[in-house]
Amino acid sequence: MAHTVTEYDTIAAISTPIGEGAISIVRLSGEQSLTIANRIFKGKDLAQVASHTIQYGHIVDPETDEVIDEVMVSVMLAPKTFTREDVIEINCHGGLLATNRILQLLLANGARAAEPGEYTKRAFLNGRIDLTQAESVMDLIRAKTDKAMHVALNQLDGNLAHLIQNLRQEILQVLAQVEVNIDYPEYDEDELTTKMLLEKADIVDQAISELLKTAQQGKVLREGLATAIIGRPNVGKSSLLNYLLHEDKAIVTDVAGTTRDVIEEYVNINGVPLKLIDTAGIHHTEDKVEKIGVDRSRQALEAAELVLLVLNQSEALTPEDQELLTLTKAKKRIILLNKTDLPTALTKTMLQPYLHEGEQPLEISILTQLGTKALERRINALFFAGIETNQNTVMVTNARQIGLLRQAQQALNDVRQGIAAGMPVDLVQIDMTSCWDKLGEITGDSAPDELITQLFSQFCLGK
Partner 1 sequence: MKTYDSKTYDVIIVGAGHAGSEAALAAARMGQKTLLLTINLDMVAFMPCNPSVGGPAKGTVVREIDALGGQMGKNIDATYIQMRMLNTGKGPAVRALRAQADKGQYHRVMKDTLENEANLTLRQGIADALIVEDGVCKGVITNTGARYLADAVVLTAGTASRGKIIIGELMYSSGPNNSIPSIKLSENLETLGFKLRRFKTGTPPRVDGNTIDYSKTEEQPGDTTPNAFSYETPDAAYLTDQLSCWMTYTNATTHQIIRDNLDRAPMFSGVIEGVGPRYCPSIEDKIVRFADKPRHQLFLEPEGRDTEEYYVGDFSTSMPEEVQQKMLHSVAGLEHAEMMRPGYAIEYDVVEPWQLKATLETKVIENLYTAGQMNGTSGYEEAAGQGIVAGINAALKVQGKAPFILKRSDAYIGVMIDDLVTKGTNEPYRLLTSRAEYRLMLRHDNADLRLTQQGYEFGLISEDRYQNFLTKKAAIDAELARLENVRVKPTPEVQAFLAEKQVAPLKDGVLGVDFLKRPEVTYADLVRFVGAAPTALDHRVIEQVEIQVKYAGYIRKEEAKIAKLKRLEAKKIPDRIDYSAINGLATEARQKLEKIQPETLAQASRISGVNPADIGILSVYIQQGKIAKVG
Annotated binding site for Mg(2+): 238, 259
Closer residue to partner 1 (CB): 88 or 411: 411
Segment interacting with partner 1 (CB under 8 A) among 83-91, 266-274, 387-395, 453-461? 453-461
Q: What is the dihedral of CA 305, 311, 317, 321, to 10 degrees?
A: -30
257 lines the binding site for partner 1 (CB under 8 A): no
Pick one of 8, 51, 63, 252: the residue that binds partner 1 (CB under 8 A).
8
Q: In this structure, what DSSP letter does residue 134 have?
A: H
Measured CA to CA, the distance from residue 64 to residue 92 in angstroms comes to 20
- CB of residue 25 to partner 1, shortest distance in Å: 23
Cβ proximity to partner 1: between 9 and 248 the closer is 9
- From 81-89, 273-281, 309-317, 422-430, span contacting partner 1 (CB under 8 A): 422-430
Residue from 27, 121, 275, 438 binding partner 1 (CB under 8 A): 121
Residues in binding contact with partner 1, number by CB under 8 A:
52
Contact flags string 182-221 toward partner 1, x per CB under 8 A: xxxxxxx---------------------------------
Of 380, 268, 377, 244, whose CA–CA distance to 22 is shortest?
A: 268
- Site stretch for partner 1 (CB under 8 A), options 141-149, 160-168, 212-220, 305-313: 141-149
The nearest distance, CB 77 to partner 1, in angstroms, is: 19
Q: Does 179 bind partner 1 (CB under 8 A)?
A: yes
Print burial letters for 426-440: b (CB count within 10 Å at least 16), e (below 16).
eebbebbbbbbbbbb
With contacts defined by CB under 8 A, name the span among 121-129, 220-228, 237-245, 348-356 that binds partner 1. Answer: 121-129
The minimum distance between CB 421 and partner 1, in angstroms, equals 6
142 binds partner 1 (CB under 8 A): yes
Of 136-144, 166-174, 333-341, 386-394, the segment contacting partner 1 by CB under 8 A is 136-144
Told to check if 135 binds partner 1 by CB under 8 A, we report: yes
Instruction: Report d(CA 395, CA 384) in Å as an integer.
Output: 15
Looking at residues 145 to 164 of the shown chain, list those that interact with partner 1 (rule: CB under 8 A).
145
For residue 335, the SS3 value is strand
- Contact (CB, 8 A) for 11 and 114: yes
Are 317 and 344 within 8 A, CB to CB? no
DSSP 323: H
Regarding 17 and contact with partner 1 (CB under 8 A), the answer is no
Is residue 456 close enough to count as binding partner 1 by CB under 8 A?
Answer: yes
- What is the 3-state composition of the chain as percent helix, strand, coil, each rounded to the nearest 5? 50, 15, 35
Distances (CA, A) of 431 to 411, 438, 446: 5, 10, 17
Applying CB under 8 A, does 56 fall inside the site for partner 1? no
Task: Write down the H helix ranges in 219-289.
Answer: 237-247, 279-285
Given the rule CB under 8 A, which of 83-91, 122-130, 250-258, 281-289 is the region that contacts partner 1?
122-130
CA–CA distance, 36 with 85 (Å, rounded to integer): 14
Cβ contact 407:401 at 8 Å: no
Q: How far is the CB of 11 from partner 1 (least distance, A)?
A: 12
Shortest distance, position 425 Cβ to partner 1, whole Å: 7
Q: How far is the CB of 404 from partner 1 (least distance, A)?
A: 15
Q: Of residues 41, 82, 124, 266, which one binds partner 1 by CB under 8 A?
A: 124
Which residues have CB under 8 Å from 432's CB, separation 6+?
Answer: 171, 174, 175, 178, 197, 200, 201, 411, 412, 415
Report the distance separating Cα 262 and Cα 304, nearest Å: 14
Alpha helix (H) ranges present in 44-158? 96-108, 118-125, 134-156
Residues whose CB falls within 8 Å of the CB of residue 314, separated by 6 or more in sequence, listed in order = 339, 342, 343, 344, 345, 346
Contact call for residue 169 and partner 1 (CB under 8 A): no
Q: Name the strand (E) or helix (H) holding 297.
A: helix 290-303
Of 46-54, 138-146, 165-173, 251-259, the window that binds partner 1 (rule: CB under 8 A) is 138-146
Respond yes or no on whether the N-terminal peptide bond of residue 319 is cis (omega within 30° of 0): no
Min separation Cβ 297 and partner 1, Å: 52
**Residue 94 C-beta: closest distance to partner 1, Å:** 30
Single-letter residue type at 215: A
Distance CA 113, CA 13 (A): 6
Please give the annotated binding residues, written as ranges: 27, 89, 128, 234-239, 253-259, 278-281, 463
305 binds partner 1 (CB under 8 A): no
- C-alpha–C-alpha distance, residues 230 and 196, integer Å: 54
Nearer Cβ to partner 1 (135/388): 135
Binding flag, residue 22, partner 1 (CB under 8 A): no
Q: Which residues bind partner 1 (CB under 8 A)?
A: 1, 3-9, 115, 118, 121, 124-125, 127, 131, 134-135, 137-139, 141-142, 145, 179, 181-188, 418, 421-427, 430, 447-449, 451-452, 455-456, 460-463
